Chains A and B, each alone.
Chain A
Amino acid sequence: MEKLLNQIKDKFEQSEVFFSSSEDVSVTIANGKLDAIESNKESGYSVRTFHKGVAGFAYSNKISDTKPILESLDISLIGKVEGNVDLPDPADLPDLNTYNSQIEKVSSDSINDICEDLYKFIKNNVDAEITTSGWKSVTEKRLLNSKGVDYSGKSSSSGLYASIDYPGGGGSLNKVFKSKSTPEYCEKEISKLINMYKTGLNIVKPEGGKMKVLFMPNTVFSLIWRLYAAAKADAVDQGVSVLKEKIGDKIFSEKITIYNDPLNDEFPGAQAFDGEGVVNKRNYIVENGVFRSFYGDLKFCKKIGIEPTGGSARGSWRGQPSSSMSAMYVEPGEHSLEELIAMMDKGIIIFGVLGAHSGNIPNGDLSIGINPCFYVENGEIKGRVKDSMLAGNVYDIMKNVLAVGNKSESGYMVTSPPILLDNINIAIKQ
């Protein structure tokens, strides 16, 4: 890496070299039968250059030979890609606990054993089709730039997944346990999932209309996605953000606080520095319902005139850093799940969403299939509802927050507690 940086740093005003490697193993048990053992080991690096407002970028997996990557770099300079960026100077990094050497020692055999345990625990309590899987992952990365930054980090994580399927493809209830140590699951949480599954064997067909809706943690991303799109500095620069003039405005209920915090090493995935070498920090996006901040990478923070927010994502050595909130959290409230359900005179609990990626996202609109979902009347879950959809605009419906749960779960895009909303439009096929 040093050799490559030395080769390019005199030709450009600023330059950067990024390296990452990863090693993963996953095991899947489907319906009681070992179904797959898959491994992956890869590494590669990329370079970025900035000179007189023009950016260059290239990547390669040929670690020992710099010729291919330098050729690719030359090609990228043809287009005069805009790159008015100030790479960061070296700074002290916070000390995070991201690596556990025990995870390196986790074998396929031991992942299989815990997956089998989890499968048997569920199967002993419910006669259903069950999938369990487990994995471990170890990644290393290093980032050097021409200003003297030389950061490196190593992280490890493991996880377990359980899915209980309704017969004939009727959807599934699932649970993910992410861990900073060896893979493990919580019997109490799995027992709750099993009880919910059993309740859902009863199919009910209530009338659609406006009602209360409880978004479970793994479905909150469908709401947050719209905020994620609008709070991005790129969207502000492009003029497509509906939040562009809204800093300081109340956009959600005061019960909602959302922030990005890559420094939170309580969960796997914490990072001291982002994909461009900016030291990470907690960045409040929404605080008590008030819109506080945009987020962005160096290029777009500069373009819209804000200080670097950190958090730029770099999926792997193949990708350029981009504006991101890779460690997004919704702040928990005060209510247990049972209390939230008790607040519902008539409503739907959503355990899964479909089509969250479609709809007019820039506007904050969502129109999603909801499955599995459960109907609640007077605080009692009556059964599972099929063929239903939810529609609305996130800036309307997130004003109607009745309560926020007190226990967060790490899901796709965001770590969140359950959120109870009122007056939401649900269509149910009769």
Chain B
Amino acid sequence: MFNRLNELISKVNADYADLRYEKKIVTSISFRTREIDNLSKNSTDGFVLRVLKNGGFATVAFNNIDDADFAINNAVTNAELYSEKTTKKVKFAPAPVVKDEFIPEQIEDPRNISFEEKLELMKKYNEILLKPEKVIATDLGYAELFRDKWFVNTEGSEIHEELLTTRLGGSITSSYGSQNQDLRIKAGGSNGFQNVRNLEKYMEGRAKLVVELLDAESVKGGTYDCIIDPTLTGVFTHEAFGHFSEADITENSPSLREKMKIGTKLGNGIVNITDNATIPNQLGHYKYDDEGVAVRKTVLMKNGVLTGRLHSRKTAHEFGEPISGHMIAEDYRYAPIVRMGTIFIEPTENTKDELFKTLGNGLYLCEGKGGQTMGENFTFGASYGYIVENGKIKKMVKDLNISGNLYNTLADISMIGSDFELSKVGGCGKGQTNLRSCYGGPHILIKNLVVGGK
């Protein structure tokens, strides 16, 4: 494969070029209440070519080898146009030449499990979810995504990396009278099929919870002090802070670059935030990014002060900061962009009980239900929560969406717990979907969160 790719890239008349060939195999099984809705296994492939010439940069994605000459001409012509028109030439920060293969270990390789066995397991889970009378519908899907990536560049790098993601997701809906209530299902990982086995208790818990939520009251909209659980800490860290750590977000905004300057104090002094996709056996694990740079642990915030940033080779040069290996593409359809790998708030020594005691009165919010960022503003949903009075968990509440401002909220984190959990299912949608986007942390206490009720 490397010979074939090197032969193609040798035709590119430029200062630098890289070419990624990727084969993607997607296996899907899904249930829609009691019916099998989909069962398929399909294989596709394609290429992404990136060209740097005279400080001009262009990319092209194509999925038919017969279009290779067209793609090369297109990318070179566009890079020349870029060079001619731009007021600022693109340069790449230097990166080591790498010749390597990375095939992460699968504890139980899903490719060795038969379709029939996977189908039976999903069927069993689906039946558990549908057991309570008030559960009226499920959408339960198993997906297995295999990315077989081959990367070469004109500097001499040759990297073969395989990424295999298993994912069990969907939703369950309960109903009573005119009211419907949904709840998400999330399981999976990057190191094998065992991540989706033995989930019977989890499924029972989901079915019980979605029925309980029918009776929960909607929270009254307003400003609350809140403890958020590790899944929400993850979503919060990703949405409220992480995106501003991606250098391509801040690169072209002088005012943002000023606000996010390394050394700026943004958070309370107790806040430490790290991105570390090098940790094995977690969802976000990879070795090389999609421009051939080894991912490295990046400390983004230390004691509330900005210390690092996530980079491409282009942005690392632009900022004069170290490369970090965070250029990720969804698949062969896309050129990579800067993405978080595995981002989390570092735990401290406080127990959960101490957090609740300090909170006194407020809300305990549980389970991330999606989030979004727009500039300094962010929002994220919680699947359910509880009223907390005098440090004690009281009645369940629902319809919880939280909105905030990055700069204020990081300063409002007043206490951080000692537990730690990372997400098992990703799905960040910054232009492309990153199914291995991983996030987490401990329970944390945040003051003055705006919570929208029903």
Contacts and interface: CB of A to CB of B under 8 A. Distances in A.
A60 B252 contact: no
A169 B259 contact: yes
A108 B74 CA distance: 10
A388 B86 CA distance: 39
B41 A75 contact: yes
Interface string B4-46: 0000000000000000000000000100110111111111111
Given A30-B252, A355-B381, A242 B180 contact: yes
Interface stretch (B53-61, B269-277, B344-352): B53-61
Interface stretch (A11-19, A182-190, A264-272, A390-398): A390-398
A171 B378 CA distance: 10
A369 B252 contact: no
A369 B36 CA distance: 36
A341 interface: no
Contacts of A109: 81
Interface string B170-185: 0001010011111000
A172 B377 CA distance: 11
Contact of B376 (A30, A171, A365, A430): A171
* Chain A to chain B: the 4 pairs with minimum beta-carbon distance, closest first: A79-B39, A358-B381, A369-B379, A389-B452
Q: Name the residue among A42, A166, A169 with the largest chain B CB count within 10 angstroms.
A: A169
Given A240-B173, A354-B374, A389-B450, A61 B259 contact: no
B406 A367 contact: no
A40 B136 CA distance: 43
A30 B379 CA distance: 25
Given A33-B88, A387-B450, A430-B223, A129 B254 contact: yes
B116 to A, nearest CB: 7
A43 B63 contact: yes
B259 A391 contact: no
A386 B379 CA distance: 13
Interface string B342-386: 000000000000000000000000000111111111111100000
B144 to A, nearest CB: 13
A239 B136 contact: yes
A238 B116 CA distance: 25
Contact of A38 (B43, B59, B77, B369): B59
B376 A58 contact: no
Contacts of B46: 42, 61
B268 interface: no
A104 to B, nearest CB: 14
B450 A388 contact: yes
Contact of B119 (A79, A172, A429): A79
Contacts, number: 272
Contacts of A60: 42-44
B335 A75 contact: no
19 contacts: A31-B253, A40-B60, A60-B44, A72-B40, A75-B41, A78-B115, A165-B253, A166-B375, A168-B259, A170-B376, A172-B375, A240-B180, A361-B182, A368-B379, A369-B377, A369-B378, A388-B403, A389-B221, A389-B451
B404 interface: yes
B136 A238 contact: yes
Interface of A: 30-44, 57-61, 63, 68, 72, 75-76, 78-82, 108-109, 112, 116, 129, 131, 165-172, 208, 234, 238-240, 242, 318, 320, 352, 354-363, 365, 367-369, 371, 386-393, 425, 427-430
A112 B81 contact: yes
A365 B454 contact: yes
B38 A318 contact: no
A76 B375 contact: no
Nearest to A303: B35
Nearest to B404: A387
Contacts of B374: 171-172, 352, 354, 369, 371
Given A33-B87, A44-B63, A109-B81, A76 B403 contact: no
B256 A80 contact: no
Contacts of A80: 36
A296 to B, nearest CB: 13
A357 B370 contact: yes
B405 interface: yes
A66 B197 CA distance: 35
A31 B64 contact: no
A357 B381 CA distance: 9
Contacts of B44: 44, 59-61, 318
A357 B372 contact: yes
B39 to A, nearest CB: 3
Contacts of A44: 44, 63
B81 A391 contact: no
- Chain B interface: which size bin? 35 or more
B75 interface: yes
Contacts of B88: 33
B401 interface: yes
B63 A79 contact: no
Contacts of B375: 165-166, 168-172, 371
Q: Name the residue among A35, A57, A82, A320 with the largest chain B CB count within 10 angstroms.
A: A35
B288 interface: no
A82 B32 CA distance: 10
Contact of B33 (A58, A131, A238): A238
Contacts of B379: 354-355, 358, 368-369, 389
A367 B59 contact: no
B317 interface: no
B180 A363 contact: yes
B201 interface: no
Q: Name the residue among A31, A386, A429 with the largest chain B CB count within 10 angstroms.
A: A429
Nearest to A72: B42
B286 interface: no
Contacts of B370: 355, 357-358
A367 B173 contact: no
B167 interface: no
Contacts of B119: 78-79
Given A61-B45, A79-B119, A391-B452, A33 B86 contact: yes
Contacts of A361: 182
B71 interface: yes
Nearest to B259: A168
Contacts of A356: 372
Given A169-B253, A360-B398, A391-B399, A78 B78 contact: no
B2 interface: no
Given A112-B85, A129-B253, A429-B450, A38 B60 contact: yes
A201 to B, nearest CB: 13
Contacts of B223: 427, 429-430
Contact of B58 (A37, A234, A365, A428): A37
Given A78-B115, A170-B376, A57 B448 contact: no
A59 B44 CA distance: 8
Contact of B399 (A166, A320, A359): A359
Q: Name the residue among B39, B175, B256 with the largest chain A CB count within 10 angstroms.
A: B39
B102 interface: no
Q: Name the residue among A208, A359, A361 with the largest chain B CB count within 10 angstroms.
A: A359
A239 B373 CA distance: 33
Nearest to A317: B44
Nearest to A31: B252
Nearest to B368: A358
B151 interface: no
Given A38-B60, A38-B335, 9 more contacts: A76-B39, A81-B37, A166-B375, A359-B401, A360-B398, A362-B173, A363-B181, A368-B452, A427-B222
B236 interface: no
Contact of A41 (B36, B60, B258): B60
